[in-house]
Structure 1
Amino acid sequence: MFLEKIKSPGLAHLSYVIGAGGQAAVIDPRRDIEVYEEIAAANNARISCIFETHRNEDLVSGAGLLAERTGATVYHGPNAAGEVRYAETARDGQEVQLGDLRLKVLETPGHTDDSISIAVYDNASGKEAVAVFTGDALFIGDVGRTDFYPERAEEVAGLLYDSLQRILALGDQAIMLPAHGAGSVCGSGMADREFSTLGHERLNNPRLQITGRDEFIKVKVAEHHYQPPYFRLMEALNLSGTDPMDPNPAALGVEDIKSLGEQVLRVDVRSAEAYASAHLPDSLCVPEEMIPAFAGWLIKPEQRLVLIAENAEHAWQAARHLGRIGFDRVEGYLAGIMDWVTAGEPFASVDFVDTATVEQRLNKPSVDWQLLDVRGLEEVETQRMPEAIHVYVGELPDKLKELDSNKAWTVMCGSGQRAAIAASVLERGGYNNVDVYLGSMTAWQQQKHAA
């Protein structure tokens, strides 16, 4: 028997290859599928089946592509939002045998109507489940979000409660294997580790400590989650299937960038600090490691893109992040901006300000200056700057008309990284007097504690 976990950074997506007896199953594959074939080959196994534990909202599934390459059967849960063209419907109690391993489907709706979990049994060592793939129903330290059906909020929260009882009934001994880890948009309270058992979660997971179905429903309905616009694209692609991704954009020169014109969006994927120091005018700052979280808010899938990256490898990794969420129109990349600068082309910069400067501005308020907090709602409710206007960074493009472009703006977040993204959105929107509070709430709290 073998089991290997594959993590997709940024998305915090976890997929798996499990196998025995020369056969393997893949659970929740991502779009760049080569890794699954490599793992199966290294274990002298053939991929014979693929399971999707639910409709993925936050990434493009690679199940259809992997099935085309391997001939494997794809299984997807019942009650999907439409016909999953590349999959068969998995039913409750359905089993697949892989050598001495037995994989059993449990219908566990709530996060989505089509959610399933997959219990793993080792026929050679006992009758109890040894593990369970929980998809987005149960996480380490949290449970799945239930906000995708707002008109059925209480119903789906109740369905999730019932599903969690089914999963826990497999026994405390079972290792749990979720589809996401900490940092995923699919839950806000996940522990910063990727191993647990049902027994540990039963005792320690805060959502599993809620007493009773009614109270669980009340808590879940009161939760707040953000839904990036690109989730709708994922829903469509994960019904119809998609093409293979090409994560290796070509290098471009200064004249190439200029010839592409203003119809192509320049996306600076370097660090926030590098962007602030010098960047191409009208470029959008989305540091490479933050692409999975924010590109789907700020970029439209049909937009043609040019990446401003540190080097080829950096650009290719950024393109891979984009491809995993269905953004394929990358025309190429510019390696750094020195060629641009030495060619005499214009560039822009953004000032960083420190805690002392922000405090001074707060102590001498001006009608011509405003502090803008772009953190998430839960963060703001936990630690608030009363003087700040709050607009979540992902929603900022749609809220620009509500802000005064004639004012000077200082943007803050938790550390300054998201604030740099927001500053680029403001600049692209015609806000000419913007700076970033580097350190942001983390630095503010440190200063207050030190005082």
Structure 2
Amino acid sequence: MILEKIKTPGLSHLSYLVGADGKAAVVDPRRDCEVYLEKARAEGLEITHILETHRNEDFVSGAPVLAELTGAAVLHGPNADGEVLYAQTTREGDRHKIGSLEIEVLETPGHTFDHVAYVLYDSKYPEGAVGVFTGDALFIGDVGRTDFYPDRKREVSGLLFDSLRKICSLGDQAIVYPAHGAGSVCGSGMADREFSTIGHERRNNPLLQLDDRAAFIDRKVHENHYQPPYFRLMERLNLVGGTPAPRSLRPAPLTLDQLAGCSADRLVDVREPLAYASGHLPSSINLPVDMIPAFAGWFIREGETIALIGSAHDQLEKAMEHLVRIALDNVLGGYVGVVPAAASGKQMQQIPMIDTETVKRRLAEDHADWTLLDVRDADERAENAIEGSQHIYVGELNERWRELDPSRRYTLMCASGMRATIASGWLKSNGVANVEVYLGSMGAWKAAQEED
């Protein structure tokens, strides 16, 4: 038996190639799906099945594209929120042969109504399930979010409780193969490791420790999660089927004049926040490469044209790779050379940085025209907040920037200053010009408190 995990950085998405005796299945493939073909051919395997655990909200499924390339059958669970046009419906108890392996379907609703898990058996070792592909139902150290049906939140939380018990009944020996690892927007308490068993999770996963169904439901309905606008785009594409990824993920190179004349809807500077803050092209926003999967879907809309700005072509390529996986791939090109642009006399903008002492002084003086704006998520703020600060989550500034007074001065803060720089760049591009970043943010504030 061959089982290989394929990790998609940024999204923390985990997909799998599993096979034996010349046949293989792929579980939850990503949009740029040639990687599965390459790995299967290297092992002498033919991909005959493509298994989707559910209609994903955070990335474009590569299932329809991979099916076109291989002729494999795409299998998807029942009760989807619409017809999955490119897939066959598979139901509880169905068994699919992959060489000497067998995949059994468990219906595991809760995260979504169409969610299924795939139980892996090996006929050469008939003692029980070898493992289970749990999708977004069970993670390592966490379980799936249940906030996609706000009018039925107690119902779906109860369904997830029942589904987790069904998965746990497979036996402690079964290895857990989730669809996401730590850093994914699909959970907040995942362990850093990406390996576990049912037995280990049953004993150590905090959510599996809740044996009372009502207590589990109460816990889930009081969680805080955010849904960026691009989730709706992913949901639609993962019903009708997404298009293939662009053949080249390296943006076309732009000169400074071409960048100025390309009329992109969004100029996206993908450099690190401090580099962006020290000097950037007017009207550009900051989405550092590693933060694109988490935040691009808040600030870039479907169909908007994008021009990328970076410090190296490899950086631009990585940025486009992230954008392609969430279907925000209308990239006109990329420009490298912010420093040479400044040296040529191109007008640049900066975002000032202030320190803890300045923040303390302003809070004490109660400046009438100044606001300390905390852009962390609700859970972070509930744990520790600076008295006198206001709160808007960074992603929600995509629309809520209109609530701000452009004549006021805003100091943006988060945990370290990175998300605050993203927020500041967005506000500045929308005419809220008097913005600055609290350098070090809550980390610096806590350090100062300890010194005092």
Say whether the fold is shared (TM-score over 0.5).
Answer: yes
- Indicate yes or no: 2:178 matched with 1:178: yes
Distance between the aligned counterparts of 2:47 and 2:311, measured in 1?
Answer: 37
Deviation at 1:122, TM superposition (A): 1.4
Deviation at 1:340, TM superposition (A): 2.3
Deviation at 1:359, TM superposition (A): 2.1
2:279 corresponds in structure 1 to 278
2:413 corresponds in structure 1 to 412
Structure-to-structure mapping, 1:65-80, within 5 angstroms: 65-80=65-80
Read off the aligned partner of 2:286 and give its amino acid letter: C
Contact 2:79 2:113 in 1 (8 A): yes
1:449 corresponds in structure 2 to 450
Structure-to-structure mapping, 1:49-60, within 5 angstroms: 49-60=49-60
Distance between the aligned counterparts of 1:231 and 1:106, measured in 2?
Answer: 25
Deviation at 1:331, TM superposition (A): 0.1
2:260 corresponds in structure 1 to 258
Structure-to-structure mapping, 1:427-442, within 5 angstroms: 427-442=428-443
Deviation at 1:371, TM superposition (A): 0.4
2:288 corresponds in structure 1 to 287
Read off the aligned partner of 1:385 and give its amino acid letter: I
Distance between the aligned counterparts of 1:413 and 1:242, measured in 2?
Answer: 35
Deviation at 1:338, TM superposition (A): 2.8
Q: Secondary structure at the match of 2:118?
A: strand
TM-score by length of 1: 0.98
Cα deviation digits, residues 122-180 of structure 1 (max 9, x gap) = 11112311110000001111111111111111111111111001000000111101001
Contact 1:158 1:213 in 2 (8 A): yes
Deviation at 1:214, TM superposition (A): 1.4
1:384 corresponds in structure 2 to 385
1:39 corresponds in structure 2 to 39
Deviation at 1:360, TM superposition (A): 2.4
Distance between the aligned counterparts of 1:88 and 1:343, measured in 2?
Answer: 58
Contact 2:262 2:332 in 1 (8 A): no
Deviation at 1:99, TM superposition (A): 2.3
Distance between the aligned counterparts of 2:449 and 2:235, measured in 1?
Answer: 45
Contact 1:121 1:127 in 2 (8 A): no
Distance between the aligned counterparts of 1:294 and 1:112, measured in 2?
Answer: 23
1:249 corresponds in structure 2 to 251
2:202 corresponds in structure 1 to 202
2:424 corresponds in structure 1 to 423
2:366 corresponds in structure 1 to 365
Give % identity.
Answer: 54
Distance between the aligned counterparts of 1:429 and 1:259, measured in 2?
Answer: 20
Q: Secondary structure at the match of 1:105?
A: strand
Distance between the aligned counterparts of 1:336 and 1:8, measured in 2?
Answer: 28
Read off the aligned partner of 2:451 and give its amino acid letter: A
Q: Secondary structure at the match of 2:302?
A: coil
Structure-to-structure mapping, 1:24-423, within 5 angstroms: 24-246=24-246, 247-261=249-263, 263-423=264-424
The runs of 5 or more residues in structure 2 that have no matched partner are: none
- After TM superposition, the structure 1 stretch with the greater mean CA deviation from structure 2, 244-253 or 231-240, is 244-253
Q: Secondary structure at the match of 2:333?
A: strand
Deviation at 1:380, TM superposition (A): 0.4
Contact 2:24 2:99 in 1 (8 A): no
Contact 2:19 2:45 in 1 (8 A): yes
Corresponding residue pairs, total: 450
Contact 1:77 1:89 in 2 (8 A): yes
Distance between the aligned counterparts of 1:40 and 1:336, measured in 2?
Answer: 40
Deviation at 1:339, TM superposition (A): 3.6
Read off the aligned partner of 1:3 and give its amino acid letter: L
Read off the aligned partner of 1:236 and give its amino acid letter: R
Distance between the aligned counterparts of 1:338 and 1:406, measured in 2?
Answer: 30
1:12 corresponds in structure 2 to 12
Distance between the aligned counterparts of 2:358 and 2:41, measured in 1?
Answer: 58
TM-score by length of 2: 0.97
Contact 1:301 1:328 in 2 (8 A): no
Q: Secondary structure at the match of 1:138?
A: coil
Deviation at 1:447, TM superposition (A): 2.1
Deviation at 1:358, TM superposition (A): 1.8
Distance between the aligned counterparts of 1:7 and 1:345, measured in 2?
Answer: 40
- After TM superposition, the structure 1 stretch with the greater mean CA deviation from structure 2, 162-171 or 306-315, is 306-315
Read off the aligned partner of 1:220 and give its amino acid letter: K
Q: Secondary structure at the match of 1:320?
A: helix
Cα deviation digits, residues 49-105 of structure 1 (max 9, x gap) = 110001100000000000100111110111111111111101111111222211111
Deviation at 1:211, TM superposition (A): 2.6
Distance between the aligned counterparts of 2:142 and 2:193, measured in 1?
Answer: 12
Cα deviation digits, residues 20-73 of structure 1 (max 9, x gap) = 111111000000111111111121111111100011000000000001001111
Cα deviation digits, residues 221-257 of structure 1 (max 9, x gap) = 1112111111110011011112212222100001101
Distance between the aligned counterparts of 1:133 and 1:366, measured in 2?
Answer: 55
- After TM superposition, the structure 1 stretch with the greater mean CA deviation from structure 2, 289-298 or 217-226, is 217-226
The runs of 5 or more residues in structure 1 that have no matched partner are: none
Contact 1:280 1:337 in 2 (8 A): yes
Distance between the aligned counterparts of 1:210 and 1:225, measured in 2?
Answer: 20
